[in-house]
């Protein structure tokens, strides 16, 4: 009875399953892309909002898929070091979360219908690939996260695809600037998954979840994290070389938050990395906001 009293309600259960703290990875590219479109007087608010909603839904759908399939593959157990996974905790059935996955990705597809009407059929293909990749991150015969491809997936879809795609649905044209801007968005998003995988490195290795962290080992994973942070701050220089004003270097002020992360990752292990994970998400938000302001002012 005491255990039942501590169980979260239905609304809180699904809130936990959605993992709202991860949604920064979906927010940052839309903010930056919209700032780039605004700079050219080509912003389109309905397209930006639907792109943001679609990105949120794909992120949530991916989180739900991870929750289900990491449990089914044995990666999530009672010894899990990270935040609660609702399937492993017995808060929902596998059937319930499978239905939630279908509904969430279905809603993301619905968002894409307007964007396809506005920007053309390539957007439909891009949306479908994004959804399929979200599913394939942990599900299917070749789960990306279990093959060491999770970092690449995050950089491409939560960096390049999200930023360039959100820019295109507003301006209806392609440009080099959103591609350059997507680099810093992608590296900070990738840094998040690196911390996550470093925390779980021992448990993942036991169940043959061959993340890049498992493949590289702890020392090289720490070096990879630091390299990603360093590379992030090349983004304003790239935009400056494209003709943007010096205001874009406002984004480099985020280094104040990045330097302690680069230091602390070497001294923390296991569940201690949960705090670092939250701080890395905060870094992505800070960098995205500062880059957005910098682009507007440049």
Confidence of residue 75 (pLDDT cuts 50, 70, 90): confident
Give residues with Cβ within 8 angstroms of 40, minimum separation 6: 171
Six token digits for residue 140: 């299917």
Instruction: Name the DSSP letter for residue 272.
Output: G
Cα–Cα distance, 279 to 275 (Å, whole number):
6
The residue ranges of DSSP E strands in the chain, in sequence order, are: none
Find out whether 159 and 185 touch, Cβ atoms under 8 Å.
Answer: yes
Residue ranges per structural domain of the chain:
11-297
Find out whether 30 and 56 touch, Cβ atoms under 8 Å.
Answer: no
pTM of the full predicted structure? 0.90
pLDDT for 6:
67
Out of 17-26, 169-178, 276-285, which region has the weakest mean confidence (pLDDT)? Answer: 17-26
- Cβ-based burial of 274 (10 A; exposed 0-12, middle 13-18, buried ≥19): middle
> In the predicted model, what is the mean pLDDT of the chain?
91
**CB-CB neighbours of 216 under 10 Å:** 18
Cα–Cα distance, 166 to 119 (Å, whole number):
11
Cα–Cα distance, 68 to 98 (Å, whole number):
8
What pLDDT digit, counting tens, does each position of 123-167 carry?
889 889 999 998 998 888 888 889 999 999 999 999 999 999 999
């Amino acid at each position: 009875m005491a255990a039942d009293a501590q169980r979260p309600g239905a609304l809180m259960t699904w809130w936990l399953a959605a993992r709202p703290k991860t949604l920064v990875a979906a927010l940052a590219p839309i903010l930056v892309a919209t700032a780039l479109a605004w700079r050219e007087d080509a912003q389109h608010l309905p397209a930006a909002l639907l792109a943001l909603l679609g990105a949120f839904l794909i992120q949530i759908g991916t989180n739900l898929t991870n929750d289900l399939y990491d449990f089914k593959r044995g990666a999530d157990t009672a010894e899990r070091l990270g935040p609660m996974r609702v399937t492993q905790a017995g808060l929902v059935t596998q059937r319930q979360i499978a239905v939630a996955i279908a509904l969430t990705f279905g809603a993301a597809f619905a968002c894409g219908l307007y964007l396809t009407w506005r920007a053309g059929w390539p957007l439909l293909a891009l949306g479908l690939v994004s959804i399929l990749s979200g599913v394939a991150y942990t599900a299917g015969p070749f789960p990306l996260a279990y093959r060491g491809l999770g970092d690449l997936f995050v950089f491409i879809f939560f960096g390049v695809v999200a930023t360039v795609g959100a820019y295109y649905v507003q301006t209806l044209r392609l440009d080099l600037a959103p591609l350059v801007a997507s680099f810093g968005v992608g590296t900070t998003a990738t840094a998040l998954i690196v911390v996550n995988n470093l925390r779980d490195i021992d448990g993942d290795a036991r169940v043959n979840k061959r993340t890049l962290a498992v493949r590289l080992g702890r020392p090289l994973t720490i070096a990879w994290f630091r390299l990603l942070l360093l590379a992030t701050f090349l983004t304003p220089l790239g935009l400056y070389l494209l003709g943007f004003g010096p205001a874009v270097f406002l984004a480099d002020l985020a280094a104040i938050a990045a330097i302690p992360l680069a230091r602390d990752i070497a001294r923390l292990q296991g569940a201690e990395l949960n705090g670092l994970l939250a701080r890395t998400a905060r870094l992505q938000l800070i960098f995205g906001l500062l880059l957005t302001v910098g682009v507007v002012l440049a």
